[in-house]
């Protein structure tokens, strides 16, 4: 686990994905979770379902959930998976790719300590291929975006302080991989996106998103020691030649890590926590939401500061409807380590600016995950690691974007790990 001192207690979950690591090499030996259950699901208008990652930050389990709330597989992969020739089992810091994963397999990102992509065959619950993207340093990969059967992008959050010892080892980049091999084939240097900023700031790409053939990356733009940040950036990448097409500076917004696209694919929503990573009393400066028009060159149309929203904006954002945005909010601990404020799930009605709180963590902060919506199917989901023993909350959404009271789903009951992250397949 990372070095977490007293002032970082309120940011335990955040630091789990910002800081930790170790070096591995790729290996393609197939493996099966002893209790793993594969699935075969026909796609509907929103895809097939949700990928649910349960974790206590020491070990992980991955489940599959239908959009109707049915449990498709309690465990398609877990830390009990035999390590085979690879040498390291699934860690406690695992996330799915942020975008919907179509096709016969899903990719799981083992961020820390592994820095490894795991390709899992849905029908058999087998890990068919694995690829380390660490290249000799603590790369901390955050997202994976498939472009074709033999091309994908990987957002590597950390920069390498001593590059030049291995191929592709600079970090703070978008790595280009061939998942069919699997192998690293190149990298996209993002340093131009931070031109004219002091040298101690790195891009820290947090999210990748494909919209109608266009590729966007969200850069958190922290200092390498995470003591501060400059304004975050949204960049557009040309997937035809792996070059930067545009850079949008999100003026006044820092630590931006949440990214979602509207149902009509004309607007992006960005959520930003700010750069206050050390104080036990969180400061709202730099935190907020931005709506970005992407019909042409991306431009910010509306910005909502955390002070307007009444909460420190968290890591997740989603569109429940064209004019209804869900976002998570962060609670915090006090200097003595006791809960001082709870996490929250909020809904912003962008037509009126009205903000409604939908849910609150019951016992301690850093237990609510980011929201995930399938707007065309009228459902949204969020994880609550403490509610009813650890549950996924399922919300029905009407045509106006209003959410009914949630139903509670216990996705996995045998291993008993709390749900943390949601993806889609």
Strand pairing category for 105-110 and 94-96: antiparallel
How far apart are alpha carbons 107 and 127 in whole angstroms?
9
Q: State mean pLDDT over 126-134.
A: 96
Q: State mean pLDDT over 10-36.
A: 40
pLDDT over 70 at 232, yes or no: yes
With pLDDT > 90 as the criterion, what percentage of the chain qualifies? Answer: 83
Conformational region of residue 224, where left means phi above 0, alpha means psi within -120 to 50, and beta covers everything else: alpha
Q: Give per-residue pLDDT as tens, 26-37.
A: 333 444 445 679
Q: Which of 207, 163, 204, 171 is nearest to 187 (CA)?
A: 171
Q: Picking from 2-16, 32-46, 123-137, which range would have the lowest pLDDT averaged per residue? A: 2-16
pLDDT for position 18: 37
Look up the pTM and report it.
0.91
The encoded tokens of residue 122 equal 């849905």
pLDDT for position 181: 98
Q: Which of 354, 304, 310 is nearest to 329 (CA)?
A: 310
How far apart are alpha carbons 178 and 117 in whole angstroms?
12
3-state DSSP: the chain helix, strand, coil percent, rounded to 5?
A: 5, 45, 50
Q: Where are the domains of the chain?
A: 6-424
Cα dihedral value 319, 323, 328, 330, nearest 10 = 150
The encoded tokens of residue 229 equal 């940040």
Q: State mean pLDDT over 350-356.
A: 96
pLDDT band at 82 (very low <50, low <70, confident <90, very high): low
How far apart are alpha carbons 42 and 319 in whole angstroms?
24
pLDDT band at 276 (very low <50, low <70, confident <90, very high): confident
pLDDT for position 408: 98
What size, in residues, is the chain?
Answer: 425
Stated as kind and residue range, the H or E segment containing 308 is helix 306-309
Mean pLDDT of the chain: 90
Q: Which CATH class is domain 6-424?
A: mainly beta
How far apart are alpha carbons 314 and 289 in whole angstroms?
10
The encoded tokens of residue 311 equal 């909460």
pLDDT over 80 at 8, yes or no: no
With pLDDT > 70 as the criterion, what percentage of the chain qualifies? Answer: 89
Q: State mean pLDDT over 43-71.
A: 97
Per the CB < 8 A criterion, the answer to whether 397 and 263 are in contact is no
pLDDT over 90 at 282, yes or no: no
Per the CB < 8 A criterion, the answer to whether 275 and 249 are in contact is no
CA 182 to chain centre: 22
Q: State mean pLDDT over 296-322.
A: 97
pLDDT for position 277: 60
pLDDT for position 113: 78
Q: 192 CB contacts (<8 Å, ≥6 apart)?
A: 244, 247
Q: Name the most confidently modeled range: 14-28, 32-46, 322-336.
A: 322-336
pLDDT for position 87: 53
Q: State mean pLDDT over 397-411.
A: 95
pLDDT for position 373: 98
pLDDT for position 88: 62
pLDDT for position 36: 77
Q: Give per-residue pLDDT as tens, 201-213.
A: 999 999 999 999 9
pLDDT for position 260: 98
Q: State mean pLDDT over 347-355.
A: 96
pLDDT for position 127: 94
pLDDT over 70 at 278, yes or no: no
Q: Picking from 116-120, 253-257, 273-277, 405-409, which range would have the lowest pLDDT averaged per residue? A: 273-277
């Amino acid at each position: 686990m990372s070095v977490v001192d007293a002032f970082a207690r309120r940011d335990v979950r955040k630091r789990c994905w910002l800081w930790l690591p170790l070096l591995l090499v790729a290996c393609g030996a197939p493996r099966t979770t002893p209790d793993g259950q594969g699935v075969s699901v026909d796609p509907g208008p929103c895809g097939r379902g949700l990928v649910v990652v349960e974790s206590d930050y020491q070990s992980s389990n991955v489940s599959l959930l239908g959009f109707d709330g049915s449990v498709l597989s309690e465990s398609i992969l877990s830390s009990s998976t035999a390590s085979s020739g690879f040498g390291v089992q699934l860690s406690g810091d695992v996330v799915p790719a942020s975008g919907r994963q179509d096709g016969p397999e899903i990719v799981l990102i083992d961020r820390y300590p592994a820095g490894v992509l795991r390709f899992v065959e849905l029908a058999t619950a087998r890990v068919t291929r694995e690829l380390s993207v660490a290249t000799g340093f603590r790369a901390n990969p955050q997202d994976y975006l498939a472009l074709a059967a033999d091309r994908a992008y990987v957002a590597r959050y950390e920069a390498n302080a001593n590059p030049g010892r291995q191929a592709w080892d600079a970090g703070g980049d978008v790595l280009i991989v061939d998942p069919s091999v699997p192998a690293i084939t190149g990298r996209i240097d993002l340093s131009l996106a931070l031109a004219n900023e002091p040298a101690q700031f790195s891009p820290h790409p947090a999210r990748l998103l494909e919209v109608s053939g266009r590729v966007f990356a969200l850069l958190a733009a922290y200092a390498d020691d995470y003591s501060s940040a400059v304004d975050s950036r949204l960049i557009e990448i040309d997937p035809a030649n792996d070059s930067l097409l545009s850079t949008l500076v999100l003026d006044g917004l820092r630590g931006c890590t949440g990214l979602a696209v509207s149902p009509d694919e004309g607007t992006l929503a960005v959520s930003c926590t700010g750069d206050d990573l050390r104080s036990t009393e969180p400061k709202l400066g730099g935190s907020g939401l931005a709506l970005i028009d992407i019909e042409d060159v991306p431009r910010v149309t509306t910005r909502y500061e955390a002070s307007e929203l009444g909460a420190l904006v968290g890591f997740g954002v989603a569109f429940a409807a064209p004019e209804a945005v869900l976002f998570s909010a962060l609670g915090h601990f006090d200097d003595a380590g006791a809960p001082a404020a709870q996490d929250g799930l909020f809904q912003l009605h962008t037509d009126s600016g009205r903000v409604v709180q939908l849910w609150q963590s019951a016992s301690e902060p850093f237990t609510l995950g980011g929201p995930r919506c399938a707007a065309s199917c009228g459902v949204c989901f969020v994880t609550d690691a403490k509610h009813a023993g650890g549950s996924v909350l399922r919300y029905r959404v009407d045509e106006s974007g209003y959410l009914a009271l949630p139903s509670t789903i216990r996705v996995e009951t045998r291993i008993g790990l709390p749900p943390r992250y949601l993806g889609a397949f």
